[in-house]
Homo-oligomer: A and B are copies of this chain.
Amino acid sequence: MGRHKAYDREKVLNDAMQLFWQKGYHGTPLSELVAVTGLNKHSMYKEFGSKAGIFEECIEHYWMKALGEPLSLLRQKPLGLSNIIAFFEDRIEYICSKEFKSCLFVKATIEHDLVEDRALEHIQKKNRVYTGAFADCLKAAADSGEIPETSDPEFLTDYLFHFLVGMLVMGKPKKGKAEAKKQLDFIISSLKAG
């Protein structure tokens, strides 16, 4: 009994996420959140409790909507170097596209002491899922002989992650997609050489 909700929670979350993604946590005032989602301020608070509450749900939403697909590229069986290549090619494609707007997680990581602790921990947990997927690919590549058996997936994973984050911060390279692909080629052949 009682009236139905007029808004679509998914759509609201998506709109809010887009805003946070573009402007960061502190760069996004509640007023704009209200404007872009179309929700009434009152409904907003009833649904999410606070600005921090919205943000945390947006992180989960971002994880599923924006990071799910590239993650699936890392998990395609059989695991190996090809996953890493496919993943980075996809990311380069995105970074060089005009829709590019960095990464919500990276922005929140940099905002660190400004963002709520819970949200930060949430992000770090998700990061670990990502680096875990990297490591699985590298282990498989070592097992199959694609890269030397002596390779250490542990630090190579973080090395790859650093490179990824650097690209996400710096955005489109001055010489475009071709330059980014050269960098990727270099990394891949380095992995093969050990």
Which A positions have Cβ atoms within 8 angstroms of B?
22-24, 26-27, 102, 106-107, 109-111, 113-114, 152, 154-156, 158-159, 161-167, 169-170, 173-175, 179, 182-183, 186-187, 190, 193
9 A-B residue pairs with CB within 8 Å: A24-B26, A24-B114, A27-B113, A155-B175, A155-B179, A155-B182, A162-B163, A164-B166, A187-B190
CB pair A23–B190 under 8 Å, yes or no, is no
User: Chain B: which residue is nearest A22 at the CB level?
Assistant: B113
**Besides the known contacts A23-B114, A24-B114, A169-B169, 5 further A-B residue pairs in the complex with CB atoms under 8 A apart:** A24-B110, A159-B163, A163-B166, A165-B169, A193-B193
Interface of A is mostly: helix
Known interface pairs A155-B183, A158-B183; A106-B114 also in contact (CB < 8 Å): no
Known interface pairs A23-B114, A165-B165, A193-B193; A155-B109 also in contact (CB < 8 Å): no
CB pair B113–A102 under 8 Å, yes or no, is no
Smallest beta-carbon distance A140→chain B, Å: 19
CB pair A110–B114 under 8 Å, yes or no, is no
Q: Bound complex: CA of A22 vs CA of B111, how far in Å?
A: 9
Of the candidates B152, B175, B193, which one forms a contact with A154 in the assembled complex, judged by CB atoms under 8 Å apart? B175
CB pair A162–B166 under 8 Å, yes or no, is yes
| A154 / chain B contacts, CB cutoff of 8 Å | 175, 179
Smallest beta-carbon distance A189→chain B, Å: 8
Smallest beta-carbon distance A25→chain B, Å: 10
Smallest beta-carbon distance A175→chain B, Å: 7
Q: Which 10 A-B pairs have the closest CB atoms?
A: A162-B166, A190-B190, A166-B166, A165-B166, A159-B183, A155-B182, A27-B114, A110-B110, A155-B179, A165-B169
